[in-house]
Amino acid sequence: MGLFSFIKNAGATIFGIGKTEAEEAAEATAAELREEALVARRLESTISDLGLDVDNLNVHIDDDAATVSGMAHDQATKEKVVLVIGNSEGIATVDDQMTVENPEPEA
């Protein structure tokens, strides 16, 4: 047995100790992107569970803004989808890029 000496800052970074600010920022950004993708999938699932029929539904979240695209079968369904997304916690704006298969006047 004995005492071994090592150079403190020369080894592999373990347990997040010694990460640079750039590494920490990159990890935070990656985590935020994963969270936004998860929220988008949950919103798509909720819309489907509510029986709102939208072809090629895609929800994209960027911070507190949501973008929704796809083809609704009627105007009422399109408006309901926008309301479901807009009335979700953490969403401040909805960019409606949806189209309507059977266009009608907006409600």
Name the DSSP class of 88: S
Q: How big is the CA angle at 60 (ends 66 and 98), to the nearest 5 degrees? A: 75
Which residue has 């004995």 as its token pair? 2
Beta bridge partners of 65: 62, 93
Which residue type, as a one-letter code, is found at position 65?
A
- pTM, entire model: 0.71
66 close to 93: Cβ distance less than 8 angstroms: yes
What domains appear along the chain, each with residue ranges and CATH number?
A: 21-102 (3.30.1340)
What does the pLDDT profile of the chain (107 residues) look like in tens digits? 566 556 666 555 566 566 777 777 778 777 888 888 999 999 999 999 999 999 999 999 998 899 999 999 999 999 999 999 999 998 999 999 999 998 877 76
Whole-angstrom distance, CA of residue 52 vs CA of residue 73: 9
